[in-house]
Amino acid sequence: MTRDDFRRTVAALLLLAATVWLAAGDTTVVAHGSEARYVEVAPWQRDRVPRVLAVSRSELGTPGTRRTMEVRDVEGRSCLVGALFALDVDDDYAFDIDEPVTLTLTYATESTTPFVVGWDRNGGEGVGVTDAIAPARGGAFASTTLTLDRARFAGRGVRGTDLAVSAREGIALCDVSVERSGETRPPTRSGRLVLDVRDGDGGPAVPARVGLYDATGRAPLPSDRALSIHRFTDEIRLLRVNARTAWPSSNRLAFYVDSSYESRLPAGAYELVVTRGPEYRSHRGAIEIRPDETTAVTVPLQRYADLPAAGWYSGDSHVHLMRDRPADDAVWGQIAAEDLYVANLLEMGNVAGTHFRQPAWGRAGRYARDGRVLVSGQEDPRTGQRGHTMHWNIERPVHEPGSFFEYHEIFENTRRQGGITGYAHLGELFNGRRGLALDVPFGLIDFIEVLQGGRLNTEIWYTFLNLGYRVLPVAGADFPYFGPTLPGVERTYVRLDGPFSADAWFDAFRAGRAYVTNGPFLELSVNGRPMGDEVRVARGAPLDIEASARLNPEFDRLDRLELVTLGDVAATATADGTDTVSLSRRMAAEGSLWIAVRAWGGRQASRDTTVAHSAPIYVVVGDEPTWKREAVPELVAHHRAQLQALLSAPIDPQQDLETWETATTLVERWQEQRPRLEPRVAEADRRYRELLERFRRSGAR
């Protein structure tokens, strides 16, 4: 994309934005849908910095915030006081450069805490972030001068900005100056690249994720033949591939193509990377762009595994991508490029309204093309008091501010529509364990999102399985949050017995034919029955368990496969350097239990784990629940305590992600609705006590 193309695009977006005015005033004037981030234009400009925004996210690698901005006079100087500011460098001064840039920040010392600076950078991950800078003390003001290595300033930050200044506890920014070194040298000659991506040798054209880097690691700005991607309200083409996402290059900026791509590039040698999810081997090669010539490249992506041939089809539980119309080919292209078959595009609600709006619902809201389908859903209600909920495959959205904390009304509405319900974010974030403790005993929860952000959390899920409740696992990227993680990095595979369709996928998921993964592929059967099934046997009957896992070695090294019964590891098979591992075991059914498998890769850090986990198979002996007998009293006490915490914990509006638009209303609604929750909590408590009494009556075995 040339500078003139970029300017025309920005001008068109700004013109459209000028016609949009939402309830929160200029903090939500946007070009595409409503803004789920806090963005406020500061009444403050400096030479070469014509635009400064107070924001909640920079998209340039700096910490986020929920603090809003104030303008404060400090000894006659106008200072911006807040936690995160995004700065736009004048394009006429610096656009898409590659050189050291000197940045000088002046701040009020008494109101400034340690801060970092992030910037749009060439090479590597595409962002640069400084170490924490300790503010000087003594005078009223101090200045810090930094050299920003390989500064790019191509508008890749929030709302087209180039720099970010972030201080968790606050900064008073009073002045800024930017000085180029002038070392950027424009190319003298260029050539043309024509790229075509195929599914194997001689196969059909397919969408893909593409990286293109010159000898210095710089990724040229994509042409308009790359897909335009919605990141919140930004329209971007060049995305950051975060460190948790499999990618075969140390340079980590990429773009999406709908099978073909063309661009003019400076002449020279390039690294070309093309990927398409965990079932494919990545392509990484070298190409040469010769002056005034066309270089045509066909990339036949080779399969590592063909899961649809075995009936397994992937989906993402949790994607936030806005559509103006159901048939959005750019959104479809991004999903298809990650080799996803089902994308649950979730409209996201808070007590004040909704973001990431979907244009239609039910079948009218689906967009199916070449066997891939976009489906409208909702993440709503969401609170920091009792967690975030998700609702799939619904006929219409339900947003009820007047009963926003009474989640059961939304769950029941979803069920009446034939939809599927669950909790997001590992069941843990935003106090989701409180909401789950209340809703699971009523049979309203189909799933918990147990894999997200490079982390598997089974603790909360297992507490319900071990009380005999049947709750399924799902995985979702939550794009554009979590890093951001790209769609499909965490995914749910569902096994179909016949041809693929959205309805067949949702039906098979509801039956439990599912596993979650960010890499490994799983198989599991008990007495020949698949994931999700119930196997009824006599006490002492044999159980023949067969399981396997495999992992594309380009994603990670396969470590081990574990057999899990009632939450405990019953057997382990190690991979011993191979990409496939199998496990066979015969055991006697001494009582009812649930059985699952999980596979681990070599990465096992707390927030960077390669892992997969199956849905359970339920073995039922007589009429005994599939509970973990020795744990029942403790687990009942735990969930009853969560119920009391829900009612007794004071509401903290700062736990809400969009606190700048919800804080006051959340407090008011909680005060109104909390008393109405008391009978519901009392009934859930009674059900837990009844379960405990049934356990005690059953006696020890």
Residue 214, Cα to own-chain centre: how many angstroms? 29
Quick: pLDDT tens for 284-339: 999 999 999 999 999 999 999 999 999 999 999 999 999 999 999 999 999 999 99
Q: Are 319 and 487 in contact (CB under 8 A)?
A: yes
CA distances from 46 to 148, 159, 325, 450, 473 (A): 19, 18, 40, 47, 51
pLDDT at residue number 606: 86
Helix (H, G, I), strand (E, B) or coil at 154: coil
Mean pLDDT, rounded, for 613-617: 98
State how far Cα 511 lies from the chain centre. 25
Residue 188 has a pLDDT of 87
Q: Dmax of the chain from CA atoms?
A: 85
CB 371 within 8 A of CB 390: no
Burial class of residue 185 (count of CB atoms within 10 Å of its CB; 0-12, 13-18, 19+): exposed
Residue range 610-625: average pLDDT?
97
pLDDT at 33: 66
Tell me if 451 sits within 8 A of 416, measured CB to CB. no
Report the helix count and the strand count for the chain, using DSSP H and E. Answer: 8, 42
Please report the pLDDT score of residue 607 as a whole number.
87
Taking residues 592-601, report their average pLDDT: 98
- Strands of 63-140 (E only): list them: 70-74, 77-88, 99-108, 116-120, 127-129
Is pLDDT at 18 greater than 80 in this prediction?
no
- Can you read off the two tokens belonging to residue 318? 């949790």
How many angstroms separate the CA atoms of 526 and 530, rounded? 7
Distance from C-alpha of 320 to C-alpha of 39, rounded to nearest angstrom: 18
pLDDT over threshold 90, residue 16:
no
Mean pLDDT for the stretch of residues 252-268:
97
What would the mean pLDDT of 215-233 be, rounded to a whole number?
97
Residue 170 class from Cβ within 10 Å (0-12 exposed, 13-18 middle, 19+ buried)? Answer: middle
Q: What are phi and psi of 227, to 5 degrees?
A: -70, 140
What would the two tokens of residue 172 be?
Answer: 């008073």
- Strands (DSSP E) found in 253-327: 253-257, 260-266, 268-275, 283-289, 294-301, 312-319
Judge whether 201 and 281 are in contact, CB under 8 Å. Answer: no
Residue 680 has pLDDT above 70, yes or no: yes
Give the separation between CA 585 and CA 563, rounded to whole angstroms.
9
Fold of the domain built from segment(s) 36-180: Jelly Rolls (2.60.120)
Q: Grade residue 484 by pLDDT with cuts at 50, 70 and 90.
A: confident
pLDDT one-digit tens code per residue, 521-559: 999 999 999 999 999 999 999 999 999 999 999 999 999
Q: Which among 519, 701, 692, 535 has a CA at the least distance from the CA of 616?
A: 535
Q: What is the dotted CATH code of the domain comprising 308-631?
A: 3.20.20.140
Judge contact between 524 and 596, C-beta under 8 A: yes
Mean pLDDT of the chain: 94
24 pLDDT band, cuts 50/70/90, is very low
Angle, helices 632-648/432-439, rounded to nearest 10 degrees: 110
474 within 8 A of 516, measured Cβ to Cβ: yes
Lowest-confidence pick of 31-40, 70-79, 608-617: 31-40
pLDDT band at 7 (very low <50, low <70, confident <90, very high): very low
pLDDT one-digit tens code per residue, 380-427: 999 999 999 999 999 999 999 999 999 999 999 999 999 999 999 999
Q: Is the pLDDT of residue 620 over 90?
A: yes
Residue 155: other Cβ atoms inside 10 A: 22
Are the beta carbons of 415 and 394 closer than 8 angstroms?
A: no
- At residue 187 the predicted structure's pLDDT band, cuts being 50, 70 and 90, is confident
Between strands 580-588 and 608-614, the pairing is unpaired
Q: Is 19 left (phi over 0), alpha (psi -120 to 50) or beta?
A: alpha
Please name the amino acid found at residue 221. Answer: L
Q: How many CB atoms lie within 10 A of CB 197?
A: 25
Q: Is the pLDDT of residue 30 over 90?
A: no
Phi, psi for 505 (deg, rounded to 5): -65, -50
Structure tokens at 415: 């069920």
**What pLDDT, on the 0 to 100 scale, is given for residue 39?**
98
Q: What span, in angstroms and rounded, lies between the C-alpha atoms of 376 and 392?
A: 7
Question: Do residues 244 and 485 lie in contact, with contact meaning Cβ atoms separated by under 8 Å?
Answer: yes
Structure token pair of residue 507:
């039906």
CATH of domain 190-301: 2.60.40.1120
pTM: 0.94
Q: Which of 9-18, 303-312, 567-576, 619-628 has the lowest mean pLDDT?
A: 9-18
Domain limits, the chain? 36-180, 190-301, 308-631
| pLDDT single digits (tens) 98-144 | 999 999 999 999 999 999 999 999 999 999 999 999 999 989 999 99
- pLDDT (average), residues 6-29: 38
Q: How far apart are CA 300 and CA 118, in angstroms?
A: 37
SS3 assignment, position 246 = coil
